[in-house]
Structure 1
Amino acid sequence: MLHHAGAHPRTPDRAWRARALVATGVCVALAATCGCTRSQAAASPTSGGLSVSYEAPRRGGADERSFLKDRRLPERVAEHLNDTLRLPRTIDVVGRTCDEKDDVPAYDQETRRIELCYDFVGEVRSMFEDARSPDPDEHTAGVITETLYHEAAHALKDTLRLATTGREEDVADQFAAYSLIPQGAKGRAAVLAAADNYAQYARETDPQEIDFSAEHPPEATRSANYRCYLYGAAPKKSAKLVDGTLLTKERAELCADEYQDLRRGWGSLLAPYKTDR
């Protein structure tokens, strides 16, 4: 399932493409055969779970691959979900150079694979650098972490055949908030980094190019939702998020209920699969 759009001039088709990807370069048999390296976070092939690997980069991408591996961003998400959920099948998380027309992270239902694109990592970091972020690497790490949880939600819905009643992209964002906000300051920072990144994309989008019938909601809406969940989880701690623009006072009054609803919803969906660890 696709996540972010590109930073360069976009059309709605460029911003949000179709879900199913053509399976290319899948690592099978020996990792060396296709230039993959398997992470220590790999799940047991008999018990299921998230397994992390990295393909050799193309078109550059070496720095982005090192960024992911050195910070263990996919591994941390995989370890968290493997520790808390019993999954019947393996879900592969693959760092790779994606096709230029599909260079955003995605979950491929046919291969049960989350593709994390090196170009996307570089794009997000460049956006934070251009915005003179005080710590672009840390903010980029937050966006990548949120992205991984978002794509993991699509994988869980597919693998566990979870029933949901909302639009899947909204539900996947809610899973990212559900997973990250309880992790404390670092998790909250990741959600806020994602909210800021969506706001960056929104500022660069021509309003006439917004497709309101698209699979994903507009970037400004996703930014506002994340701010709402953060505020709803801890109103006193997050009062500055109510800025009257991305998060209005009127919306903020509903945020505690919205956050509790997503907590109850995802908690009920995943209860049969919890490891109780």
Structure 2
Amino acid sequence: MASFFRCPSVPRRRVSRAVALVSAAATAGVIAACAPDTPPAAGPAAWGISYEAPKRGSGAEAEFLRKRRVLEEVRSSLAQQYRLPDGVTMTAKSCKDPEAEYDPETGRIVVCYEFVGETRDLLWGADRSDLDERVEGALRETLYHEGAHALIDQWELPFAGREEDVADQFAAYQLIRQGARGQRQLAAVADTYRLYAEDSDLEDIDFSDEHSPDAARAANYRCWLYGARPETHERLVDGTVLTQDRSEGCEEEWEALRRGWEHLLKPHREGNGTP
């Protein structure tokens, strides 16, 4: 389980994942909830939504999710593409800690209102331009990432590398294919990891954690985005977060990532007759 940002109560929990390329060969061989007004669809493709009443202090975050229709948009995107045997409900609620995660026991993706607030606070302190759009992008990346865990769990998908890295790849795969808006949001996601990396001391990084360091995730997202559209995202090669040396292989990284996920997901796509 993981999400876009770290949970303060679990050190560096969901901030980091290393580069785990899903090549076409590896893919073939190794990879081979519901609000009253938005009920989940019936059947194997059900991706539901639920909103729990926010506790004191979380009202603005709950309103942001509803107004921007973050859960609805991601639910619609995933339900149109993939069917699941048991379904998944995306639940927004108040929590003790700011986190987001997929729980395989309940089949729920939980997004805490506190997590929304933490995301806004971070981005507010860095750059207030297009703040709502960038916060929304961070949350959409989180939901796609957690959605990848749900797909892997319910379909028992094999994969190459660490699951957290593969889930990052899935989030990038989804956002990049959505065109200019999704790509802008993914660039903002990369910048958020950069901010966390700048705010971290080396001794605070747990290199044995299932996630990779923040700086690596920032570089990964920039690399895949640049590799998908190098003529559009040349500015991402800044020599610091994404170096010139790394950028020279980014088109191949993106192409391997894209082919890998498409191969892996093909049997489960909506409309292909596969249960």
- TM-score band by shorter chain is 0.7 to 0.9
1:131 aligns with 2:126: yes
Other structure's SS at 2:206 match: coil
Match among 89, 95, 113 for residue 98 of structure 1: 95
CA drift at 1:39: 5.8
Write out aligned runs for 1:152-191 (5 A): 152-191=147-186
Instruction: Kindly indicate whether the alpha-carbon contact (under 8 Å) linking 1:42 and 1:50 is maintained by their aligned counterparts in 2.
Output: no
Distance 1:170 1:42 in 2: 32
Match among 240, 259, 263 for residue 245 of structure 1: 240
Match among 252, 258, 267 for residue 262 of structure 2: 267
Instruction: Kindly indicate whether the alpha-carbon contact (under 8 Å) linking 1:169 and 1:216 is maintained by their aligned counterparts in 2.
Output: yes
Show structure 1 runs of 5+ residues with no match: 18-35
What is the CA deviation profile of residues 150-209 of structure 1, one whole-angstrom value per residue up to 9, with x for unaligned ones?
010001100111110111111000000111101001110121111111111111111111
- Structure number with the bigger relative contact order (C-alpha 8 A, sep ≥ 6) is 2
Match among 50, 53, 73 for residue 50 of structure 2: 53
Indicate how the Cα distance of structure 1 residues 16 and 189 shifts in structure 2: closer, same or farther if over 3 A, else same. same
Q: Percent identity?
A: 45
Q: If the length of structure 1 is used for normalisation, what is the TM-score?
A: 0.87
CA drift at 1:37: 6.1
Show structure 2 runs of 5+ residues with no match: 15-32
CA drift at 1:46: 3.0
Counterpart of 1:211? Answer: 206
Distance 2:180 2:82 in 1: 23
Counterpart of 1:118? Answer: 113
Q: If the length of structure 2 is used for normalisation, what is the TM-score?
A: 0.87
Distance 2:255 2:180 in 1: 19
Distance 1:48 1:85 in 2: 6
Counterpart of 1:33? Answer: none
Say how many residue pairs are matched. 253
Distance 2:158 2:171 in 1: 17
1:65 aligns with 2:62: yes
1:201 aligns with 2:196: yes
Instruction: Kindly indicate whether the alpha-carbon contact (under 8 Å) linking 1:37 and 1:55 is maintained by their aligned counterparts in 2.
Output: no
Distance 2:41 2:184 in 1: 31
Indicate how the Cα distance of structure 1 residues 258 and 276 shifts in structure 2: closer, same or farther if over 3 A, else same. farther
Counterpart of 1:224? Answer: 219
Other structure's SS at 2:258 match: helix
Indicate how the Cα distance of structure 1 residues 92 and 126 shifts in structure 2: closer, same or farther if over 3 A, else same. same
Instruction: Kindly indicate whether the alpha-carbon contact (under 8 Å) linking 1:39 and 1:75 is maintained by their aligned counterparts in 2.
Output: no
Q: Which amino acid aligns with 2:61?
A: E
Distance 1:88 1:217 in 2: 31
Distance 1:132 1:86 in 2: 38
Instruction: Kindly indicate whether the alpha-carbon contact (under 8 Å) linking 1:242 and 1:252 is maintained by their aligned counterparts in 2.
Output: yes
CA drift at 1:58: 1.5
Q: Which amino acid aligns with 2:214?
A: E
CA RMSD of aligned residues (A): 1.7
